[in-house]
Structures are given as C-alpha cells and as structure tokens.
Amino acid sequence: MEPLLEVRHLKKYFHTGYGTLHAVDDVSFRIPKGSTLGLVGESGCGKTTTGRSILRLIEPTSGEVLFKGRKVLDATPSELRALRSEMQIIFQDPYSSLNPRMTVSQIIGEPLLIHRRARDKKELERKVRDLMEKVELADRLYGAYPHELDGGRRQRIGIARALSLHPQFIVCDEPVSALDVSVQAQILNLLKDLQEELGLTYLFITHDMSVVKHMSDTIAVMYLGQIVEMAPAEALFEKQLHPYTQALISAIPLLEPGGWKDEEVLKGELSSPIDPQPGCRFAPRCPMVKSQCTEQDPPFVESAKGRFSSCVRAKEMI
C-alpha cells in the first residue's frame, strides 16, 4: 500500500560554535494512511526536530519528504501553504502554544480565516462551534481566554485548531506530557476517537513508553539523531532487537511494587550529538559492544520480518 507519508534520509544539522550538531541524521520511515507511527526517545534525541522538519517548520538540511507522493521539501511557498492545510501539528505545551490575547473561538477560527474556508461570519461561527463540539469543549467557552482554562482544555483547543482545515496528517508532539494522568487519558482517548472517525494519520512523538505503546501501530526508537529500532508496537515490547530499546524498556518504573530487579541499569549518559564519531552512537553505553561497533556506522536493516534494527548483533537477540 502507498504510504501517506514517506521520509527518506532526512537530515537536519545545526552549525554551532563547537561544531556541527547532528540533530537528525539520516532518518527514514513511512506511515500508511490511517495509522500511527510513534517516535520515542529521550530528550535531545531529535524527535521534535524530525517532526518539525517534516512540516518545514524547520528547514531540513537534506533528505526527502513525500506526502501522498508530493515532494514537500521542494514545494514553493504557495504549494507549501496548500500542503499545510493537509499536514498539521499539535504542540507539547498547551500554555505557550496559544496566544493569550485571543479567545478560544479566535484561536480555532484563525486557520479558517487565513485559508478562506468560511464565506461569512455566520459560517465561521458555525464551523468553530462544530470543531469545539468535536473536541468536547463546552459551548460556553466560545469567548473564553486560554488563561481561564486548565491544561486539558487548552490542549483540546490546540487539537481543534489542528483539525480546523481537515488535515489528513497530524504531528502530535508530546501532546500529553504537560498533563496529569487522569486528563492525559481523556486526551489520548480523544485523539484515538478522532483518528477513527476522520481517518487521520499520526506521527506521535513522546518520551513516554507506556503512552507510545498505547497509541502506536509502529514504533520507531530514536537515539542521538538516528532511528535505532523500528517494529510493530506489540512486538517491540515483547522482544527488543536493539540494546538501547532494551535499556529504555527496563528503565520504566513498573506499576508492580518492587517489580524492579536489582541489576544495574544502563550506565552513563547521552554523548554529544556534535560532530559524532563514526560507528554506533550507542556504543559508549552499550553492554553488548564489540570492536566492530566503533569502526563503522551500523546499517539499519530488516533483522526479522517487519522489524528493523541498527544493531550489528540484532540477529543474536531474536
């Protein structure tokens, strides 16, 4: 099946005073229509930069992004504008991503105005109210300001705004990490319901392993700018074919009291993404490291059916 979105060899380098920072370094994946790809990793691994580069909110250094076969990175400003109505984003922080001087209805209605999707005031109002209903925002909040609302409701505004132009693809960038668990569950349910109802395709970015498992069909694990493992969600949690994924999953504080074993967890910390050395980026922390790991970049290959890993020892882990 033709994927809705395909990303090929995406790179984003930032030039800093200390050298070149490889924020996203040769990332490739495809997302079939109506499904969710979860992008998971720790802070600084490049997941947000990947999401923003796809939408060209940041201009990537090189690579290719195909949306329904169209080349996003070659799009002219006017083509890009048209594309953006089909590709939207929900931001992490519902506090800073809403203009405090605009009312709920103005925020949700703004994309409709910019893209001239309403003939008159009446139609605009009707569309905004429909969107509010869709994200379960009470009608009485039509004229309210963001500061009057809690985090969960603010995130609903962000979702309504993203939906206003009927996009097919939405980048969800840590949409629930600023929320309490009981509210987080409400928003996750809403996102799933909307996906089913509207046939949406999501790139779901998060640092939370439980959330990514719950939301995704396929999960890609990022480490220092690269995808190290990609697999169907259920399969990934059953068995990991990369030592970093293994470490990530064993580090989760389980809900079972005393469920943690005493064995030592992953040692050390992320190395710098500035001018990285050749070889596997995870090698300095890897419990399974071999000499060949630091000699050349490991290829990202299909190690088992439908499962991709960049670990040279992936086959041993099956």
Partner 1 sequence: MGEAQLSIRNLYVEYHTDEEVVHAVNGISLDLEQGESLGLVGETGAGKTTTALSILGLLPKPNGKVTSGSIFFEGKELSQIPEEEMRQIRGNRISMIFQDPMTSLNPIFPVGEQIAEALEIHFSLSKEQAAKRTAELLELVGIPRNRMGEYPHQFSGGMKQRVVIAMALACNPKLLLADEPTTALDVTIQAQVLRMIRDLKRRMRTTLILISHDLGVVAQICDTVAIMYAGKIMEYGKIEDVFHHPLHPYTEGLFASIPRLDRTQKRLSSIPGLIPDPSNLPSGCVFHPRCPYRMDVCNQIVPTTVEWEGRKVQCLKYQELS
148 binds partner 1 (CB under 8 A): no
Minimum distance, C-beta of residue 49 to partner 1, in the bound complex (Å): 17
Residue 275's Cβ-side half-sphere holds a number of Cα atoms within 13 Å equal to 6
Q: How far apart are the first and last CA of the chain?
A: 27
Q: Binding partner 1 by CB under 8 A: which of 11, 20, 33, 42? A: 42
Pairing relationship of beta strands 201-206 and 36-40 according to DSSP bridges: parallel
Residue 276 lies near partner 1 (rule: CB under 8 A): no
Residue (of 205, 234, 210) closest to 221 by Cα position: 205
Which residue of 78, 140, 269, 305 would you call a contact of partner 1, by CB under 8 A? 269
**CB neighbour burial string for 134-173, b if at least 16 within 10 angstroms, e if fewer:** bbebeeebbebbbeebebbbbbbbbbbbbbbbebbbbbbb
CA-closest candidate to residue 36, choices 237, 199, 160, 235: 199
Of the candidate residues 165, 266, 304, 317, the single one contacting partner 1 (CB under 8 A): 266
Q: Does 265 bind partner 1 (CB under 8 A)?
A: yes
Determine if 17 is a binding residue for partner 1 (CB under 8 A): no
The pairing of strands 19-32 and 226-232 is: unpaired
Piece of 82-90, 124-132, 210-218, 297-305 that binds partner 1 (CB under 8 A)? 210-218
| H or E element, residue 8 | strand 3-16
Q: Which of residues 234-253 bind partner 1 (CB under 8 A)?
A: 234, 237, 247-253
172 in contact with partner 1 (CB under 8 A): no
Give me the least distance between CB of 262 and partner 1, in Å please. Answer: 8
- Using CB under 8 A, which of the segments 72-80, 117-125, 154-162, 182-190 binds partner 1? 182-190
* Residues making up the chain, counted from first to last: 318
Longest dimension (CA), the chain: 68
Say how far apart CA 258 and CA 245 lie, in whole Å: 22
Instruction: State which residue, 120 or 256, has the beta carbon closest to partner 1.
Output: 256
In the numeric block, the tokens 């603010």 are attached to 154
Choose between 72 and 247: whose C-beta lies nearer to partner 1: 247
In this complex, which beta carbon is closest to partner 1, that of residue 151 or of residue 279?
A: 151
Q: Judged by CB under 8 A, does residue 1 bind partner 1?
A: no
8 Å CB contact between 227 and 246: no
Strand 36-40 relative to strand 169-173, pairing: unpaired
In angstroms, give the least distance from the CB of 216 to partner 1: 11
Query: Binders of partner 1 among 57-96, rule CB under 8 A?
Result: none
With binding defined as CB under 8 A, does residue 257 bind partner 1?
A: yes
* H/E element, 226: strand 226-232
**From candidates 188, 221, 224, 280, binder to partner 1 by CB under 8 A:** 188
Binding site for partner 1 (CB under 8 A): 42-43, 150, 152, 180-186, 188-189, 192, 207, 209-211, 213-214, 234, 237, 247-260, 264-267, 269
